[in-house]
Each structure stands twice: as structure tokens, then as C-alpha cells.
Amino acid sequence: MALYSVPVLILKEGTQRTIGRDALRANIMAARALAEVLKTSLGPRGLDKMLVDSFGDITVTNDGATIVKEMEVQHPAAKLLVEVAKAQDAEVGDGTTSAVVFAGALLEKAEELLEQNIHPTIIIEGYTKAMKEAIRILEEIAIKVDPMDRGLLRKIVDTAIASKYIGKGAIGEKLANMAIDAALTVAERRPDGTYDFRIDDVKIEKKKGGSIADTQLVYGIVLDKEVVHPGMPRRVENAKIALIDAPLEVEKPEITAKINITSPDLIKAFLDEEAKLLKEMVDKIADTGANVVICQKGIDEVAQHFLAKKGILAVRRVKRSDMEKLEKATGGKIVSSIRDLKPEDLGYAELVEERRVGNDKMVFVEGCKNPKAVTILVRGANDMVLDEVERSLKDALNVLRNVMRVPKILPGGGAPEVELALRLREFAAKIGGKEQLAIEAFAAALEEIPMILAETAGQDPLEVLMKLRQLHSEGKINAGIDVINGKVVEDITKINVVEPLIVKTNVIKSATEAATTILKIDDIISASPLKKEE
């Protein structure tokens, strides 16, 4: 055997390397630190975080996804948890705090197993088995529901937005009802009897000013724009709407052309020619029967004048996304060349009207051909409030969509976690060996959720857990903690704390995946940070 006395360098100079248990410990520590931050935000009695970004902008929220997104996490393992929260948010739009907190708990329990010299591979296998079994059990205990039952939808929305500061009282009630009305309007029935919609189908338009109580649901599309010309009508009934994505302007040449004008007559002729072209455009539009023009590009002042003379209401520089929403809502077609505009391209709405909203004006397109078009016009004193209202509405819409897609629910308030822990311990005993310990650790990690909820309600977490275990072992699978009143109840569904099944299954899946990914890492190789030029 040859002996190599010269060290072989495979990494760049300055690269840092941490291997084996040290690497694992460092990663677990970082991920747990992040979970620790989110812990106190869990549930309706969870506290808010104030986040200040590098520009000094402030966000106050207890929305898990928002917190981790804004936190500018540096450590790679903690970043993995941020990804979990983002994935959870993208897939089901709820349960982000729970996912991060649960992943943190899984890692905390894994650490204890590592101390007992249990190999990470065994822990990973145990956790994966436990996850699969947990999902199976959840399917079994979930309650089938009617996804169009308004009362039930209300319960689910309440549970989802209870933790937001605007999710309570009369305002919370108003927002919840609005989200339900919007969702019921846009939802489409699928062949298997379930329903579905896209969160985007509900347009959320924020307008600073007024109070949250002024927030309203509009059956149609609201544009944050004014009618372009004072001579135009402010209100058009039986609106036939041209959706145009070309400028109503005479195109300026790309190269600078120099024109020598030698007499005033020539200037006039020149301007007359421009006006003639614009008039032709307007005539062409008017000939189709349109009485409303919504334009994605600009509208020349002269064109505005001609439009006004014809009694046409026009709006310019409308966002592309709004143009597409209008297309869907009014049944019209966006045309890119006025020459091609035909009567059948026009959309229809019962009413297009400019209304004053606070100090501004907005254009409302109501009673659209497609009755599924809705907008929630959010009002609030400042951007912070507007954003939190938007997040709460999105949360509400997400849970609604979740339960419409998979019409099965679970009790909230830690009930499913305690039930799962109980059944997983029985399952662990059947598996035996070292994996049994990992499955039991998984069960213990699940129980962290009711314990944290108890803590936010100022209760003794262990005492609460003991009571819940007792009740569940007596077969009361809905026993949970009512954090509003700070007490253990035998049936949490009676106080309307319920969640869609897919949120919980997703929390368990994504948290387990994150924890096992971190447990698989035994080597951290980090390049030396790029040095800034002094």
C-alpha cells in the first residue's frame, strides 16, 4: 500500500467544514432557535411579532409565513425551516406556524435520542413510519362534512383567523362572512361533488383610509383608477366594454425626426392630421357599440376629448392582471389593435361607475356577465392594517378552499395531536426496537402543540397535557384546550374550533420532511464568505 504524505486539498482555502455530530448539533440548534421564535405566536392567544426590515418598514403580524419570510434568516438549517413554512403556505395557505413549531419539536426530541447514541438513520426511519401512520389515523378520525354548509364554513374560518388581531369581535365576524360570501360566489362544482376555486379569483384591492369596518364585498371588479376626462359620464348602465391593450395615441416615431415647418398653416395641418387619426380610432370604437373603454395603455388628451363627446366612459393604464380579471368577468376579449375590435369582443356589465372612496376615486364594474367575479375592497388607516387584513382574508379563503376541495375536518385546539400521540404510542410498541423510541419521540413532539397552546393561555402546560391524555384514553377524541377561556374541554368542536383535514396532514408531512432532511446532514461545508473591497 502506498503512503501519501502530501495532504490532498479538495476544498478551496478558507472553506469551513463541520462534520459528524457537531454538524448535526449546530443545525438542530439553529432550526430550533427559529421554531422557538414562532412558538409564542401559535394560536388565537399567540403574540404578535414586530418586524423591521432594512429600510425601516414595519410589519406587525403573527402569521408564521410572513414572520419567517421577513426575518432574513442566515443559517442554512434554519433556512430549510423557512422553506417548509413557505411550502406549507403555498400548498394550503395555513398551518405555517404549526409546521415550523412541530419541526422544531421533532428536532428537539431527536437530539435527546442522539444523546442516547441512537443513530440518525434509525430516527429518520422511525419518524417516517410515524408520519405515515399519523396521516392514516387522521384520515380515519376526520369528520366528513358538507362543503356548502355556511355554518360549518364559518366555524372553520373563525378558527383560522382567530389568531389575527383583526380576527376577533365584530370586525372579525364581518371579514369572515365576507370571505365566505366571496368563496361561495367563485367556487365551482367538480364532477366528484367537491368544489374548488383559485385564491386569485377573489380580487383583493387595498385602499388606505377609512376604517376596517368600511371594507366591502363588491360583486364585480374594482379598479384603482379614475375616469380620465371630466367631460365623460361617471356612470354607465348596460355597459358594453371595450378592453384594449394598445395606446389610444398616435405613435411617436422611434427615431427623432426633424420637421421643418415654415408656416403656421403647416403646424395646423400637422396637428389636424394627428387629431384625424385619433378621431378615426374613437369612431372605430364607438361603431362597435362600446360605451366604456378600459385601456391598458395611455389615452391621448385629444382622444379623451373625442371619447367624451361620444359619451364614452374611459379608464387608462389599467394593470394587466386587472385587464385579465375584467376579461373573465365581463366576457369580453382584450384586443391589441383597435382596427380589429369587433362588437363581439365587448364585455358586458350592468353598471360601470366611478365612486368616491375616501379621498380618492375608484371605478366599479358591477353586475358582470360572469356572476363569479368578486372584489373585496379593503379599507384601513395605514399599510400595516391593510396588509394584515389582506393576510387574514387570504387565510380565510385558503381554509375555505381547503375544506371545499377535501370536505373533511378535524377538531382543533390540540385534540388531534393528543389523539395521534396516544395511538402512535400503541403503534410504537408493536414496532419495537430502537425505532420504537423514535416513534415515541414523534408522539411526544406532537404533544408540544397542545402544551404551547396551553402556555399561550396562561395555563400549566403539563397539567393540561395530563388532563387531555386522560380524556383521550377514555375515548374522547375531541378533547382539546379552549385557549380563549383557558380550560380543557371534552369536545372542542362544540365551541366551534375546527380545521380542514388537509392543513393538518400537510403540517405533519412537511415538518417531518424538514426534520429528517436536517437529520440526514452530517457535513457542513461552507465557502468562505466573499470579502468586500475595503
Q: Interface residues with ligand ADP (CB under 6 A)?
A: 42-44, 46, 64, 94-98, 159, 162-163, 412-413, 453, 481-484, 497, 499
Nearer residue to ligand ADP within complex by CB, 42 or 142 = 42
In the complex, least distance from residue 95 CB atom to ligand ADP, rounded to whole angstroms:
4
And the C-alpha cell for 28?
Answer: 438542530
Catalytic residue from among 96, 159, 456, 517: 96
Query: How near is the Cβ of 39 to ligand ADP at its closest, in Å?
Result: 11
Is there a catalytic annotation at residue 340? no
Residues linked to residue 294 through DSSP beta bridges, in sequence order: 243, 315
Give me the catalytic one of 89, 158, 395, 482.
395
- We find the least distance from the C-beta atom of residue 465 to ligand ADP, in angstroms, to be 14
- Provide the minimum distance between the beta carbon of 388 and ligand ADP in the complex, in angstroms, as a whole number: 13
Active-site option among 61, 63, 66, 512: 63
Q: Which of 89, 51, 86 is nearest to 67 (CA)?
A: 51
Min dist. Cβ of residue 495 to ligand ADP (A)? 7
Residue 404 CA, distance from chain mean position: 17
φ, ψ of residue 249 to 5 degrees: the values are -140, 160
Judging by DSSP bridges, how do beta strands 292-295 and 313-315 pair with one another? parallel
Estimate to the nearest angstrom the gap between the alpha carbon of 390 and the chain centroid: 9
Q: Output 220 or 500, the one with its CB closest to ligand ADP.
A: 500
| Torsion from C-alpha of 86, 90, 91, 95, nearest 10 degrees | 50
Chain residue whose CB lies nearest ligand ADP = 412
Is the Cβ of residue 108 or residue 482 nearer to ligand ADP in the bound state?
Answer: 482
Q: In this complex, which beta carbon is closest to ligand ADP, that of residue 27 or of residue 402? A: 402
Q: Cell numbers of 424, please?
A: 402512535
Closest CA to 338 of 227, 252, 250: 250
Please say if 456 is a catalytic residue: no
| 448 CB-contact burial (10 Å; exposed 0-12 / middle 13-18 / buried 19+) | buried
Q: Which is nearer to ligand ADP, 97 or 215 (CB)?
A: 97
Tell me the C-alpha distance between 129 and 30, whole Å.
25
272 given a catalytic annotation: no
Helix (H, G, I), strand (E, B) or coil at 184: helix
Q: Is 96 one of the annotated active-site residues of the chain?
A: yes
Cell numbers for 461, please give them: 402546560
Write out the catalytic residue numbers.
Answer: 63, 96-97, 395
